[in-house]
Amino acid sequence: VATVGLFYVGIDAILEQMRRKAMKQGFELNIMIVGQSGLGKSTLMNTLFKSKVSRKSVVSTPEERIPKTIEIKSISHDIEEKGVRMKLTVIDTPGFGDHINNENCWQPIMKFINDQYEQYLQEEINIDRKKRIPDSRVHCCMYFIPPTGHCLRPLDVEFMSRLSKVVNIVPVIAKADTLTLEERDFFKQTIREELRANGIDVYPQKEFDEDSDDRMINDKIREMIPFAVVGSNQEYQVNGKRLLGRKTKWGTIEVENIAHCEFAHLRDLLIRTHMQNIKDITSSIHYEVYRVRRLNETNGQPNAQPPNTLVNPQQANGVAAQHQVLTHEM
Amino acid sequence: LLKCDGEGARAVPLAGHVGFDSMPDQLVNKSVNHGFCFNILCVGETGLGKSTLMDTLFNTKFEGEPTQHNQPGVQLKSNTYELQESNVRLKLTVVNTVGFGDQINKEDSYKSIVEFIDTQFEAYLQEELKIKRTLHSYHDTRIHACLYFIAPTGHSLKSLDLVTMKKLDSKVNIIPIIAKSDAISKSELTKFKIKITSELVSNGVQIYQFPTDDETVAEINSTMNGHLPFAVVGSTEEVKIGNKMVKARQYPWGTVQVENENHCDFVKLREMLIRVNMEDLREQTHTRHYELYRRCKLEEMGFKDTDPDCKPFSLQETYEAKRNEFMGDLQKKEEEMRQMFVQRVKEKEAELKEAEKELHEKFDRLKKLHQDEKKKLEDKKKSLDDELNGFKQKKTAAELLQSQAQQAGGSTTLKRDKERKK
C-alpha cells in the first residue's frame, strides 16, 4: 500500500484484513429443502451449486422409497470458488407431504430446526467453549410449491405459517415449465395474497429491512417471490452456446434465461447478494428468539426437550411480533 | 438432540460459476455499513508523548490539555472519536493513563489499569448473558491494543514497567514501544532493544506477536516481530524538507522526520497496528483475552461445565440453583427485617403508652395540687374577709364613740350610749 503524503492513515486497510480473515476461515451455509417428492428438489440443489450436492446424488438408493415417517437427512460438501471455501450442508426432508394423512408433518422439521438452535446454545453457554462455535443452524428453508396454478394448499399454509416464525422461508414454485407466463403471474399473485392474508412472513421479511436502501432492494424482491424455477443438470447446445436446460419437443427451456424461468433470480438472491444477510437474520433474530424463550423457561428442566409447537400459529405478525418483544426490552 | 453432522463433508468440484465467491464482499459490505470500532490503551509515565503519538498516528488533533503531575493515583481517561477514511467509519477510543509513574509509592499503580480492562470485559459479559440482548449493535469498549510506553533511558526496563506488563499480559495485547526515541543514539538503541527483549523474556512477559499463520502477511509480520519494541517519535508539527512538508521535530543539529524509517520506527508501528493487524488485534482480544476473563469469572461465580459424576451441568441449571439460593437468602433477610420492624414498633408503642400514663398521672397530681391551693386560698380569703369585717366594725364603733364624746359631756349621750350599749 503506497502512502500518499502524510494524510493517509490506513484505516480502510481493515477491509482487506477482514477479507483475508474470511478467506482463511471459509464460510458455512445450511439449506433445508422441503416439499413433496417429485418436485425436483434435488435437481434444483444440484443446479444451484453446479455440482452433485443433493443427498440423492450421493447416496445411491436401489429404489425410490417414501419413508413411513418424515426423515431428516443432511449431507455436507466442501466447495471452493476463486479461493473462497464454503461448507455447504443440504438438509433433505423425504416423506414430507407424501402420506395420506399429513397431519403434523411439520413437527419433525420444527424439532430439527430447534435442535440446531439448542446445540448452538449449549455450546455458547459452556464455560470452556470453542473458538468458533460450529454453526449447524438452518439458515434457509426452501419450500417447494407444486405448480397447480391455483392457490396454496392447506398443507403449504400450515407449514409456512409455523416455520416462518423460526427460520427464513424461501418459497419456490417448482417445475414451473408447466405454467404459461400468464398462469405463472396469476399463481404468484394469488400466493402472495394468501401469504399476506395468513400473516406469513417469508424471506426477505419486511420487518428486518435495515434502512431505506435495503427496503428498496427488498421490495423489488418481494414483488417477485415466489420464484418460479426449473432445474436441470443437462446441458444443451442453444444458439452456439452450451446451456443448462430441459429439452422438449416444442423447444428447449433455458434454466438460466430469465425470460424462461426465474432460476437466475433465485440463485442471485440466495447466493450472490443475500447469503450473508440470510445468515445474519438466522443468528441475530431467529436464534435470539429461541434463546430468549429457552432462558425464560424458569420451571423447566434445562435438559428437557425444547417445545416444538408454537402457541398461536395464526398470529398476525409472526416473527415481527417476536422481534418487537426482542427490541422492546432494553 | 438431532445432530446435523452431514455424514462428513467431502470436497466436490463445481461445474461452473456459482457465485458464492462474493461472500467476502457481502461480509465486508455488512461491516462497512455497521462501522468498526477500535480501542487503544496508552500506558506510560506522564510526559512520554502518548497524546502526541496518537495525534500523529491518526493524523488528527485530539483535544485535551497536557496532564499534570500531581495526581493522587493512576486514573484512566477515555475519549472516543469518529474517524472516516474513504467508506470506512471507525469509532476510535483512546484511553490514557493519567498520573502513571508520578506517585512516590507505585505499588498499586497497575491496579486501576487492570480494573479498567476488566470493567470493559465485564460489560461485554453482562450483555452476552442478558436474556434479551443486542450483541450486534453493542458498542464494544474492550481494549484491543495496549501501547506500553517505555522511557528512553537507554539502560533497561524499570521495575514498574516489568510489574505492570506482567499484570497486563494475560488481559490485553501489549505492544511495547520506546517513547521519545530521538533521545537515544542508534547504537544505544540497538543495545536498549536487546536488553528490553531479554528482560521481557526472562520475566515471562507475553507481548503481542504479529501473526504469521496467513501466508499473505507472514513475512512482513515475522520481520516486524524482530523489530520490537518499536522506537517511535511523534510530532504534529510540519517542517519543509526539500519541496515537501513532513511531520518532524526540528533541532539545531538536525531534523528528526517521523515517517523516515531511518530515523525511527513510527512507520512500522502504524503499519503493524493499523494497516496490517487491526483485525487480528480485535480477534485476539475477543477469542483469547475475553474468553479467559469469561471462563475465570464464571468459574469464580460457581459455574462449571461438568459435575463430579460427569453429568453435564447447564449454565441455566446452576444459575437457577444460585438464583433460588439467593432468593432464599433474600426472603430470610426480608423476614428478619420485618420481625425487627414489628419488634421496634411494639417497643415504641410500649414506650409511648408508658409516657402517656406518666402524663396522665402528672396531670392528676397537678390538678389535685391546684385544688388544694385553691382551697387554701379560699380559706385564707375567708379569714381575711372576717378580719376585715371585724376591723370595719371596730372602726365604726370607734368613730361613733368619738362623735359621741364630741357632743360634750351630755348625759343624754351617756344615756344614749348606755342605751346603745344594750
Quick check: helix, strand or coil at residue A33? strand
Quick check: helix, strand or coil at residue B147? strand
Question: Tell me, what's the pLDDT at B281?
Answer: 96
End-to-end CA, chain B: 141
Report A:195-234 residues touching B (Cβ under 8 A).
210
The minimum CA-CA distance between B328 and chain A, rounded to whole Å, is 16
If you count them, how many residues does chain B have? Answer: 422
Percent of chain A exceeding pLDDT 90 equals 55
Sign of torsion, CA B309 B312 B318 B321? negative
Work out the burial of residue B236: count CB atoms within 10 Å of its CB; fewer than 13 is exposed, 13-18 middle, 19 or more buried. middle
Q: List pLDDT tens digits, range A184-239.
A: 999 999 999 999 999 999 999 999 998 888 899 999 999 999 999 998 888 888 78
The minimum CA-CA distance between B290 and chain A, rounded to whole Å, is 11
- Dist CA B44 CA B110 (whole Å): 11
Residue B19 in this model has a pLDDT that exceeds 80: yes
Write down the mean pLDDT value for chain A. 84
Question: Tell me, what's the pLDDT at B311?
Answer: 39
Q: Where is pLDDT greater, at B413 or B28?
A: B28
- Dist CA A171 CA A93 (whole Å): 15
Q: List pLDDT tens digits, range A276-301.
A: 999 999 999 999 999 999 888 743 44
C-alpha cell at B371: 385544688
- What secondary structure does DSSP assign to B227-281, as a single string? TPSEE------EEEETTEEEEEEEETTEEEETT-TTT-SHHHHHIIIIIITHHHH
pTM of the model: 0.77
* Main-chain phi, psi angles of B276, to 5 degrees: -115, -40
Q: List pLDDT tens digits, range A149-197.
A: 889 999 999 999 999 999 999 999 999 989 999 999 999 999 999 999 9
Q: Is A123 on the interface with B (CB under 8 A)?
A: no
C-alpha cell at A78: 466442501
User: CB of A195 within 8 A of CB of A114?
Assistant: no
Cross-chain Cβ contact A292/B6 below 8 Å: no
Q: What's the pLDDT band for B358 if we cut at 50, 70, 90? A: very high
Q: What's the pLDDT band for A59 if we cut at 50, 70, 90? A: low
Q: What's the pLDDT band for B322 if we cut at 50, 70, 90? A: low
Residue A317 in this model has a pLDDT that exceeds 60: no
Cβ contacts (< 8 Å) between A50 and chain B: which residues?
14-18
Segment A291-320 mean pLDDT: 48
- What secondary structure does DSSP assign to A215-259, as a single string? HHHHHHHHHHPSEE------EEEETTEEEEEEEETTEEEETT-TT
Q: What's the pLDDT band for B414 if we cut at 50, 70, 90? A: low
Segment B212-218 mean pLDDT: 90
The minimum CA-CA distance between B59 and chain A, rounded to whole Å, is 7
Question: Tell me, what's the pLDDT at A309?
Answer: 32
Question: Tell me, what's the pLDDT at B4?
Answer: 54
Cross-chain Cβ contact A303/B314 below 8 Å: yes
Question: Tell me, what's the pLDDT at B139?
Answer: 92
Q: What's the pLDDT band for A321 if we cut at 50, 70, 90? A: very low
